[in-house]
């Protein structure tokens, strides 16, 4: 949960997850749809799928216990080099070396690693491993994390308070705030599309599930067009949901403005179209009706919550 997300944002989700699924066995037995719904709004949804798959793998392969070995940990779904090292060091006191963003910054400054990231990551990892003690590696790692979070900060580091300032190469050269050197972020090309908010007379909303893999995999959404840089809005309604002969002529309303959302690799703008159908309208293939009053139980990501709010507000009911 804490990968690329702040403690403040994670806290309420973590508390709810533990209350609902207090151990690995409970989480492994839960349907993925329920896990995704509980995660909705936290973002980076592949983490939820990986966490669920990891719980199942631990129950099936390791009798519900995490292995202490760093190599065995890396074989689990969703656990990469950093997470495996962190678990091995902090949970099992193994001589492993996790390198998160804070540790990366501390080490880059201590050894004055000027190689631009991400190319410099391997050099930083070598220095970090050389410093890792044979015992209490977890305490050491957490100490470096705290040092980076509170003193060796990205901007205006408090070098005068740092216990390593006497041996810090970057501080000696007046370069602490300049390191590590990061490549300029490339802003992804704007993508656009259309979303269709269909409200039925019995206060149900038309929904569908996204493919299990890929962006927002397995999450719930209202029907949309493809999202593309060359989206042609004049053709948007060609991809609108089709309801068969009984609802052949659907009166779509284009709502004012667009819904904007920024993903990690690109910004998105969705034009929202709305319509209302009789209470007996059938859902198109691959879609379903969900009670608006129960949308809180659906795995709607933040983007779709914004789209639904725009569509329902425009319907005026």
CA distance 273 to 311: 7
What is the domain range of residue 109? 97-184
Contact status, residue 195 vs residue 260, Cβ threshold 8 Å: no
Among the three residues 184, 209, 230, which one is the final residue of a domain in this structure? 184
Interval 165-208: pLDDT, tens: 999 999 999 999 999 999 887 778 999 999 999 999 999 999 99
- For the chain, percent of residues with pLDDT exceeding 90: 87
Q: Enumerate the β-bridge partners of residue 199.
A: 205, 276
Residue 5 lies in a domain: no
CATH code for position 135 = 1.10.1670.10
CA distance 253 to 269: 17
Q: Are residues 294 and 208 in the same domain?
A: yes
What is the pLDDT at residue 213? 85
The residue count for the chain: 317
Residue 90 lies in a domain: no
CA distance 90 to 84: 10
CA distance 206 to 33: 17
Interval 48-100: pLDDT, tens: 999 999 999 999 999 999 999 999 999 999 999 999 999 999 999 999 999 99
DSSP state letter for 87:
I
Rounded to two decimals, what is the model's pTM? 0.76
Residue pointed to by tokens 């939820």:
48
CATH code for position 244 = 3.90.79.10
Residue 10 lies in a domain: no
Q: Enumerate the β-bridge partners of residue 269.
A: 192, 260
Residue 44 lies in a domain: no
> Average pLDDT, stretch 98-117?
96
Q: Are residues 196 and 151 in the same domain?
A: no
Residue 75 lies in a domain: no
What is the pLDDT at residue 89? 96
Residue 275 lies in a domain: yes
**Helix-then-strand count for the chain, H and E:** 12, 7
Interval 7-16: pLDDT, tens: 899 999 999 9
Q: Are residues 172 and 131 in the same domain?
A: yes
Mean pLDDT for the chain? 93
Residue 171 lies in a domain: yes
Contact status, residue 220 vs residue 207, Cβ threshold 8 Å: yes
Residue 68 lies in a domain: no
Q: How many domains does the chain have?
A: 2
What is the pLDDT at residue 12? 95
């Amino acid at each position: 949960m804490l990968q690329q997300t702040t403690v403040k944002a994670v806290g309420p989700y973590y508390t709810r997850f533990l209350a609902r699924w207090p151990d690995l066995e409970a989480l492994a037995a839960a349907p993925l749809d329920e896990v995704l719904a509980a995660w909705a709004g936290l973002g980076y949804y592949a983490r939820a799928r990986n966490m669920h798959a990891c719980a199942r793998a631990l129950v099936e392969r390791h009798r519900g216990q995490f292995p202490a070995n760093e190599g065995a940990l890396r074989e689990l779904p969703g656990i990469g080099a950093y997470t495996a090292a962190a678990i091995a060091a902090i949970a099992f006191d193994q001589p492993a070396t996790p390198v998160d963003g804070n540790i990366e910054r501390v080490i880059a400054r201590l050894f004055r690693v000027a190689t631009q990231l991400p190319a410099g990551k391997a050099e930083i990892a070598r220095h970090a491993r050389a410093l890792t003690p044979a015992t209490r590696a977890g305490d050491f790692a957490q100490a470096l994390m705290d040092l980076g979070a509170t003193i060796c900060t990205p901007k205006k580091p408090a070098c005068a308070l740092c216990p390593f300032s006497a041996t810090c190469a970057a501080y000696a050269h007046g370069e602490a705030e300049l390191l590590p050197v990061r490549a300029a972020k490339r802003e992804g090309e704007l993508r656009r599309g259309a979303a269709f908010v269909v409200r039925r007379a019995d206060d149900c909303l038309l929904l569908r599930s996204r493919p299990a893999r890929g962006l927002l995999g397995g999450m719930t959404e209202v029907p949309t067009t493809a999202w593309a840089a060359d989206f042609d809005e004049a053709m948007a309604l060609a991809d609108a949901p089709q309801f068969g002969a009984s609802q052949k002529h659907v009166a779509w309303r284009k709502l004012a403005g667009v819904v904007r959302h920024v993903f990690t690799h690109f910004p998105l703008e969705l034009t929202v179209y709305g319509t209302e159908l009789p209470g007996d309208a059938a859902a198109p293939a691959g879609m379903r009706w969900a009670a608006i009053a129960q949308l809180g139980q659906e795995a709607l990501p933040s983007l779709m919550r914004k789209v639904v709010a725009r569509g329902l507000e425009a319907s005026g009911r």
